[in-house]
A and B are shown apart, each in its own frame.
Chain A
């Protein structure tokens, strides 16, 4: 083996090793979700979809999925309504404190979830929001706003600034310009943003953990199930979440990349 091919081999070997390290646990979970036996052990004797059907008869789990989906939908919608105009304003206007906002807008994501969670836990009752699913939704809106603003700001910056001027020039009012020219050109970025927000909200644990009362969200329900040990049912639900999240994230990446 000469040095170049040795180098190539080492590079691809280490690349594959890292990927294996990251994804092998996922592969194991997916495989075990089709294991008919209760005990997870290789080699798998019998394959079956049994745990998926158990899953769909588990009322608590189904309810937690419902809770998670509604929280995700509401918080995503609100985050978009706040985040898109905010990003547009930050892109278009120079105002006092813009640089500060630019720097702190990512705080809710960069700060450890525990800090945000604890902070909200003490802040929300102070402003009259009880610890509840409403509080969880507010919590999710906070960090999703940060995502929407940063993602959309990046898209606005790539948008040709003359498009807006051309629309004005042709007689379009600012609102007509926004809805007929700006919005159609950032459509794909918005769809990508929605997918990303849904996934992040559905997956969220730390903030939710501090603010929740009443029904569990899906990740917390799974966490609760784990206290009874890793049941094959957990493998099945994890597999489904994995598939859903991966599809959404890949789609979101693709749409955000589009011009």
Chain B
């Protein structure tokens, strides 16, 4: 069941068309991530759901009710802001209680809920602290508790981990995901970090220039990107060129590759997108010939930069425990795992 439906939403900032007839259906209790580079319209989309922006055209429907023109304080959605936006004049408890007090809940209900929220985000010992006395991660937890306290139909999260350092960010990714599963809420999460999107989401909507390029599970997005933009934006990828020779057959640097060629006619040039994990160095001489340009040690593996005979550059990851060591200038042959290449015209 769809809890939220966005129908043909358009948004202009002056002449800038930031969201272009966007359609999106969000399922109940799913973790949906809107992923895209900055300026792609993802934050604007979130702000239209929250009520801070009104679409110029189209409508937004929450649980069957048209909320397109409803002010933010009348919408049953809550937001975790990028900079947390905790009220500096209130302590942690007061911040969490704020939303409940606006709904005129009685004091006992508010107190009970605040205690429960504090426990949920493991901040019970900090109830009387002011936001300025908390670390970034703690402020983050309070912001989440404050937004969840109102039992929103949807929790909106606007790049909430952007300000945290890498280690804390990774830890919070897991916490957010388990919180979402535990509460069984609908989360709409906006980020430009593709790794964050892959690890947490049930579904990802990849946005580019105001349009959703692809909507699907992380696996679908990663393994069968529908546009060149999605293929390039999610994960590492190598871009090669080749020619279609038959249905589902291509030739690249003299070697045959088997992959889905979609409707590209025979004899046509095609772009071949390959994930690093699907290219190997082969000891046989039947592979795509190349030369090692650079090797970079990266802990679990060594990153190799290889130039092919047609001039294209390929990056692959070689396990550090492999028998052979490669150095700059070595001539090697590459083998491509069949059915893994993604082909665009």
Q: Which residues in A have some Cβ–Cβ distance to B below 8 Å?
A: 160, 162-163, 165-174, 176, 180-181, 184-185, 187, 259
Which residue in A168, A172, A185 is a CB contact (below 8 Å) of B89?
A185
- Give 19 A-B pairs besides A172-B73, A185-B87 with Cβ atoms closer than 8 angstroms: A160-B85, A162-B85, A163-B88, A165-B72, A166-B81, A166-B87, A167-B73, A168-B52, A169-B50, A169-B51, A169-B79, A170-B98, A170-B147, A171-B73, A171-B74, A171-B103, A180-B98, A181-B87, A259-B88
Chain A interface main SS type: helix
Q: How far is the CB of A112 from chain B (nearest CB, A)?
A: 41
Residues of B with C-beta under 8 A to A160 = 83, 85
- Any chain A CB within 8 A of the CB of B208? no
Q: Which residues in B have some Cβ–Cβ distance to A below 8 Å?
A: 50-52, 71-74, 77-79, 81-83, 85-89, 98-99, 102-103, 146-147, 150
- A174 vs B150: C-alpha distance when bound (angstroms): 18
Is A171 in contact with B85, judged by CB distance below 8 angstroms?
Answer: no
Is B73 in contact with A169, judged by CB distance below 8 angstroms?
Answer: yes
- A170 vs B98: C-alpha distance when bound (angstroms): 7
Residues of A with C-beta under 8 A to B52 = 165, 168
Residues of A with C-beta under 8 A to B102 = 170-173, 176
Is B88 in contact with A170, judged by CB distance below 8 angstroms?
Answer: no
Q: Return the chain B residue nearest A172 by Cβ.
A: B102
Q: Return the chain B residue nearest A168 by Cβ.
A: B72
Is A163 in contact with B103, judged by CB distance below 8 angstroms?
Answer: no
Q: How far is the CB of A46 from chain B (nearest CB, A)?
A: 54
Q: How far is the CB of B70 from chain A (nearest CB, A)?
A: 11
Is B73 in contact with A162, judged by CB distance below 8 angstroms?
Answer: no
Q: Return the chain A residue nearest B97 by Cβ.
A: A170
Residues of B with C-beta under 8 A to A176 = 102
- A181 vs B73: C-alpha distance when bound (angstroms): 14
Q: Return the chain A residue nearest B90 by Cβ.
A: A184
- A170 vs B73: C-alpha distance when bound (angstroms): 6
Is A168 in contact with B85, judged by CB distance below 8 angstroms?
Answer: no
- A210 vs B74: C-alpha distance when bound (angstroms): 54
Q: How far is the CB of A87 from chain B (nearest CB, A)?
A: 19
- A165 vs B73: C-alpha distance when bound (angstroms): 9
- A170 vs B110: C-alpha distance when bound (angstroms): 14
- A180 vs B103: C-alpha distance when bound (angstroms): 14
Is B103 in contact with A165, judged by CB distance below 8 angstroms?
Answer: no
Is A172 in contact with B81, judged by CB distance below 8 angstroms?
Answer: no
Residues of A with C-beta under 8 A to B146 = 170
**Given A170-B98, A170-B150, A171-B150: A165 touches B89 (CB 8 Å cut-off):** no
Jot down 21 A-B pairs with beta carbons below 8 A, ordered by A.
A160-B83, A162-B81, A163-B87, A165-B52, A165-B79, A165-B85, A166-B79, A166-B87, A168-B52, A168-B71, A169-B77, A169-B78, A169-B79, A170-B146, A170-B150, A171-B73, A171-B99, A172-B73, A172-B102, A180-B98, A187-B89
